[in-house]
A and B are shown apart, each in its own frame.
Chain A
Amino acid sequence: MDDQLMTERRVDAHEIKITARGVQVYYGEKHALKDVDVDILANTVTAFIGPSGCGKSTFLRCLNRMNDTVAIARVEGDIRIDGEDIYDSRVDPVQLRAKVGMVFQKPNPFPKSIYDNVAYGPKIHGLARTKADLDRIVEESLRKAALWNEVKDRLKESGTGLSGGQQQRLCIARAVATGPEILLMDEPCSALDPIATAQVEELIDELREKFSVVIVTHSMQQAARVSQRTAFFHLGNLVEYGNTSKIFTNPDDPRTESYITGRIG
């Protein structure tokens, strides 16, 4: 079934990028995520929605092994990207995170120049041989993040001197600079004003052509606007996962409907 919005650019969205099976996450005694099965498609924006504490950010953080950094977190189950088990002992989490980039709720540029913010990742991953290579990666990344025209004349200025919306786009440029295939976004617009939000949303739609984007959002309207697929989490369970247009017009599960229409928190 393919009932994407007619106005959306058609991108081949049927290839599976991430497969998760029987994923369980425990924080100490707390069972935070219960037996999640999900297939995330390539070149698709997938939105995770649900009330606070429902497990959506926890699951997002499983996808690039960010939960490894939480001492009491324990992840079980099987998560594969392009068929490869990302929790295999031979996988280097640092390499994984270059492939699976992440953008956080609050823009967190390094206290360095705009240029260095973007160049940092490619440098440590050895993606650029020459200065010219690096310049090219920085420019391309800033262009992808729709920030190039605004900052091209002040690349040496500090990244923290930009506006909130620009800082967030700088973080997106930094995330795409390592050539990721998947971009995880944890409430990327919640600290932004409506204009900057619209710019980031437009950007997300453009990024979909090259990446799989997974976005956690508390805004139902944002999920409805930017995503093609939506997953609703509640109390650690994945309640419903399907086409965004279906979820927001006629969801199958009454819990989904209660949540998206503002009846349960």
Chain B
Amino acid sequence: MPNSEHIVSGFDRDLEGIQAQIMRMGGLVEEAIARATEALETRDGEQARAVRDADRAIDALEEQVNDEAARIIAQRQPIAGDLRTVLTVFRVSTNLERIGDYAKNIAKRTETIIESPPVNGSAASLRRMARQVELMLKDVLDAYIQRDVALAADVRARDRDVDQMYSAIFREYLTFMMEDPRNITTCMHLHFMAKNIERMGDHVTSIAEQVIYLVTGDMPDDDRPKQDATALSVGPRT
């Protein structure tokens, strides 16, 4: 980094302010993922409800962050690293808001499926996958605030594991549904949840790319190996 402080100290406070809001958003989103998947595993409708309500705070923060970032552009005309800081805030806040929405959707589906009997073992693998995304999110927020490109690159690479877990879960749920058609409704919901978590991973990856752009000025352009093969899947061979 060049000299860390601006001559106009209000500019520093502005930039620190929006980044602090991003970290707050990140904290809320982490919590939403953890609590939504916990509610699913423990079949706790009340907690699922609470996760849905908490999403409003995330949405409100996103709006605040974007308003503030727009004001900084208008007032301070940021350039170079400052410009990248502001642009990154816009994108990261959008990514975080989307992840929050996916957590909310998991909570909503949880409230529905706890009305039916559980499908054995189905929630545990979802929770493992969510745990993986949660850790990635925690690391990417650390990478963001510390400007740590290596950690961001590591997070980006780890999305592969999420994709693999998703492919495995996809096959697992197909098997449950074929074993007993009464599982279909629940498994369809569970599958959407798995897809939600997989999409969360993509958003975390996008944040990791933003961190790399923020620090280096370039987006990483090498293609990540995609491990989600479900688009090509036609179901278990019999």
Chain B interface residue number, banded: 10 to 19
Partner of B82, one of A221, A255, A261: A261
Of the listed residues B1, B79, B81, B82, the one surrounded by the most CB atoms of chain A closer than 10 A to its CB is B79
Tell me whether B83 and A249 are in contact (CB under 8 A): yes
Chain A residue with Cβ nearest B8: A262
DSSP class of B's interface residues: helix, strand, loop or mixed?
loop
A228-265, CB < 8 A from B: 248-251, 254-258, 260-265
Cβ distance B80 to chain A, nearest Cβ, rounded Å: 5
Q: Which residues of A contact B4 (CB under 8 A)?
A: 263
Tell me whether B79 and A260 are in contact (CB under 8 A): yes
Q: Does A224 contact B (CB under 8 A)?
A: yes
DSSP class of A's interface residues: helix, strand, loop or mixed?
helix
Q: Does A96 contact B (CB under 8 A)?
A: no
Tell me whether B1 and A261 are in contact (CB under 8 A): no
Partner of A249, one of B1, B77, B80: B80
Partner of B81, one of A224, A257, A265: A257
Interface string of B209-238 (1 = CB under 8 A from A): 000000001100000000000000000000
Q: Which residues of B contact A155 (CB under 8 A)?
A: none
Tell me whether B78 and A261 are in contact (CB under 8 A): yes
Q: Does B2 contact A (CB under 8 A)?
A: yes
Q: Which residues of A contact B8 (CB under 8 A)?
A: 262
Q: Which residues of B contact A263 (CB under 8 A)?
A: 2-7
Cβ distance A76 to chain B, nearest Cβ, rounded Å: 31
Partner of B7, one of A248, A251, A255, A262: A262
Partner of A257, one of B7, B77, B80, B218: B80
Interface string of B61-88 (1 = CB under 8 A from A): 0000000000000000111111110000
Q: Which residues of B contact A221 (CB under 8 A)?
A: 77
Cβ distance B49 to chain A, nearest Cβ, rounded Å: 46
Q: Does A75 contact B (CB under 8 A)?
A: no
Q: Which residues of B contact A265 (CB under 8 A)?
A: 7
Q: Does B176 contact A (CB under 8 A)?
A: no
Could you show 26 A-B contacts with beta carbons less than 8 Å apart?
A: A220-B77, A220-B79, A224-B79, A248-B79, A248-B83, A249-B80, A249-B84, A249-B217, A250-B84, A250-B217, A250-B218, A251-B80, A254-B1, A255-B2, A257-B80, A258-B3, A260-B80, A261-B78, A262-B7, A262-B11, A263-B2, A263-B3, A263-B6, A263-B7, A264-B7, A265-B7
The 7 lowest CB-CB distance pairs between A and B, nearest first, are A250-B217, A258-B2, A254-B2, A263-B3, A257-B2, A258-B3, A248-B79
Instruction: Mark A residues whose CB is within 8 Å of B.
Output: 220-221, 224, 248-251, 254-258, 260-265
Instruction: Mark B residues whose CB is within 8 Å of A.
Output: 1-8, 11, 77-84, 217-218
